[in-house]
Every structure is written in structure tokens, then in C-alpha cells.
Structure 1
Amino acid sequence: MKFENKNAGWGFAVGLPAYLFSNFSNQFNPALTIGLAVAGKFPWAQVPGYIVAQMLGGIVGGVFVWLTYLPHWAVTEDKAAKLGIFCTAPAIRNYPANFLTEFLATATLVFSIAAMGGVKVADGMGSIVVVSALIFVLGCALGGPTGYAMNPARDLSPRIAHAILPIAGKGGSDWSYSWVPVFGPVAGGIAGALLFVLVF
């Protein structure tokens, strides 16, 4: 799959549910939820519940991924490819550089969404276009080094699913890297929110 096609897919994978669930909750990213709370655009009292729901949703999503590819697990020998269906991995493993990439990508994401007024950035179908375009651009610009998690629930939750599911011939879940796509996005989200407060 071409890199730009992958980024377009991720863009719409984020933009479409952001639109579909805009009437009651369209946040699927703990780093974004924390960032919007820091920016004063989301109530802190709701943050813990949202994060729990986001993380559980990611695990359930991981189970559906496992079921979708059920016939493929036994005939696929590449353990890294199996893990890669669930979570991210760096092109070159360098923890400071990997952390910085996730930090910058998520800081840009949170700053941009906060500056646009929150997740409900446009009425109707406009929200799909705006959010999808933002994810697409961030993926093209910063996605190569780490696979751009930008979302702890997108990486840690499916990684947990990978660890606990009976996937035929799977390897380890690469826990030594797992902290990067969690703490990088959270730190970046906070930094992006603080920059928003400073600028606006």
C-alpha cells in the first residue's frame, strides 16, 4: 500500500467517527482529551471516564481485528507483521527520536484542533474533511519514523489485545517500545494545549 493511501485511510478512519458521534462524544484519543482539558475546552471531571472508555474501545477494536484476520494468522509466518496489524513500531529504533516524533505530531494535532474550536470543528460533513485532512497531513509529514500513533488508545490497547489473544504463531508484543506511543502523545498533547493557551 502506498504511503499516501495509508495516510488517507487513517484520516478518514478518524474523521468519519468524529462526525458520526459528534452529537454526544467524538473523542477517541486520551492525549487529545487531556490536551483539550488543559486548554480549557473539555471538563477535567469527564477526563478519567473518557480515557477508560477510549482504552477499552481500543481493546475491543483489537479483538475485531483478530477476528477479521482469523484465517490468516496460522498461514502468516512473519511475527512482526502480525504485531504491526495491532500497534506501531519505529522504522529505526531510537527512543529519544521516536519519542520526539510522537511528541511533535500529537502537539500539532492538539494545537490545531484546539485552535479550530475543539473536535466539533465544522457543521455536518465539514468535520470529516477537516479532521481527515489534518490526520492525512500529519501522517505524511511525521508518520514515517514511528507509524504515528498520536493516540495511546490506538497503540497500547490493541497491543494489550495482541498480548492476550490466542493468535497463532505470534511473537512478543514489544513492551520495551510500548511507552513511546503512550507518553510521547500525552506529553505532546499537553504541550500543544499549553501552546494554544499561550498563543490564543
Structure 2
Amino acid sequence: MSLWKWAGGLVLGCAATLAQAELGLRTDGQVFGLAPSAPPAAFIQHLGEPTAELPLQQGRRGLLYGNALLLVFEGERLREVRCWKVQQFTDELFVGWLQDVERKGQPEGFVVDDRLRLGMPRQQVGAYLAGLEEAGDERSDLLQKNGRQIWLGYGPAPDYHLGDDPEQAVLVSISVLFEKP
């Protein structure tokens, strides 16, 4: 095998690994490279087998990937994508069990519109919100972008706050809702 062929294969392999490491959602288009109207089977084929399939209220079902990504379906249609930073969830919040879920090579990141990522300081999130209609409080923001409802949840920065009322300084949860057609 030539050195060029080997190096080319290495670059392609690294690019594929990087592409799988972070999942992208566009509020004006695709969800992880698929149309939002794609059925659950298409998402499973694209992302791999989910870690768990969860029954949810109102006949919905969730496909849990790793311990920090949930795709919510109503019938054959995607209704919501949720992601969160696991280290922010403790047993006191009744979702600490997620810390024990094995990742098994699941995607590591999640990005909305190539700009909004978990772990971002709240000040940086403000640039994404500029010009959008939104409502919010000290713990969350709710906004509309490209016809999608987006909920952003904030938590304390894990490196410096341990008090009773820590500043909600870091983006720890993102949910994107897809309305019925």
C-alpha cells in the first residue's frame, strides 16, 4: 500500500470519527443529516441502535442514545430532540441514574445551527438569542427560531459554585420541538 493511499485512508477515517462525535441539528432543515419527517427506523439506521427505547406519555416513545440524547417520536414522526450534560444531573433531580448508562461509542456532542452547544457560558448563548423572540428566567430561555420551539436550560458552572443559590451560568440542556404538520 502506498503512503498516499494509507494517509488518505487515515484522513478519511479521522473525518468520519469527527463527524460521528458531534451531531448537528439545523432549525431550518435537517436533524443529524435526516429530514425531521424521517421515521424512527431511519434515525436508528443513521445513528445505530439506541441504548434504550422508552415508553413516554401520550403514546410517544423515546430513543435514548448514550446517557445524554433522547429522540421523542409520536407514531412515525419526530416531535422533539433533547440533550443534556449528565454531570449536571444528580440523584436529587431523580435523573442521576443516567450517569450509570453506558455510552457504547454514542455521539459525544450536540450542536444547534452550528453555534449552540452544551457547556457554553450563558453570555455566549446570548449572541445566538439576539433578534429572536424569547421568554426566560434565571434558569431557562424559551424561543422560536425557524418555526421551531427551543428550550434552553442553564445550570451552575461545575468548577466554581457550590452554594445554596449558584449562578445559572452554563447551558446544560437543549430541547428542540417539532410541531405537528
Q: Which has the higher strand share?
A: 2
Report which of the two structures shows the higher radius of gyration computed on alpha carbons.
Answer: 2
Higher relative contact order (CA 8 A, sep 6+): 1
Please say whether Structure 1 and Structure 2 have the same fold, judged by a TM-score greater than 0.5. no
TM-score with structure 2 setting the length: 0.23
- Output the TM-score relative to the length of structure 1: 0.21
More helix by share: 1
